[in-house]
Structure 1
Amino acid sequence: MKPEIAIIRIKNLRLRTFIGIKEDEINNQQDIIINASIHYCANKARSSDNMEDALNYRTITKEIIALVENNRFSLLENLTNQVLTIASKHPWVELAEVEIDKPYALRFADSVSLSLCYTRETSS
């Protein structure tokens, strides 16, 4: 039987951090919005109802919050990559995607966002 893939989605996690290269961005926190999708095999969790058989999305989210709130970032690429590293570090994760929006980064746009994706390499 093919393993069942579960998808954890963290939607619209709204945080504030220092991000950017302009003086006002360096000196003032800005809002960011994080969306993450984490795919993992959930066969054990589906039948056991035991937290140790599942990925703990609360733990993942707390780690993302600590990263964002306790650091400064010049580039959205770097921040997105660091969040993706957290989302994908558990060995059960097959695929993870992270998108981070920086609202009002451009004058006539709602936001600018950057997405990165991780896929676990399978050994042949």
Structure 2
Amino acid sequence: MADLFTVTAPLLIRRPDGRQHVAAEIFRHPHGVVYFELFWNLRDPEQSVHVVTGTFKGDGPWKIGDTVIRVLGCHGTDGDLARQFDEWRMYRAQHTDTYPERPFIEAIARRHGAAI
């Protein structure tokens, strides 16, 4: 079984309402996961950090309740989201000095109930 929290490939999260996000950060939660959208640090974390709860199933793709998490496909499969992820990687490379440090990220995740 692939461990969702050790996968190094970008992860796509598809919510039951059809919204899709690529996870910039993902953490265990006692009842599911906490994930951060791409460019979360440029927006209000209350809008860009999400908690997904439900029964955890699968070994990739994974399902938590009615939310599906899978590895992001290539430009031919998930074109728009793959481009967003490319922009995110470029942004991170260019802003290493201003991207929040790990303790700050973990503190936000804990505020959302992450089990860190």
TM-score (normalizing by structure 1): 0.26
TM-score (normalizing by structure 2): 0.28
Q: Which has the higher strand share?
A: 1
* Larger Rg over CA atoms: 1
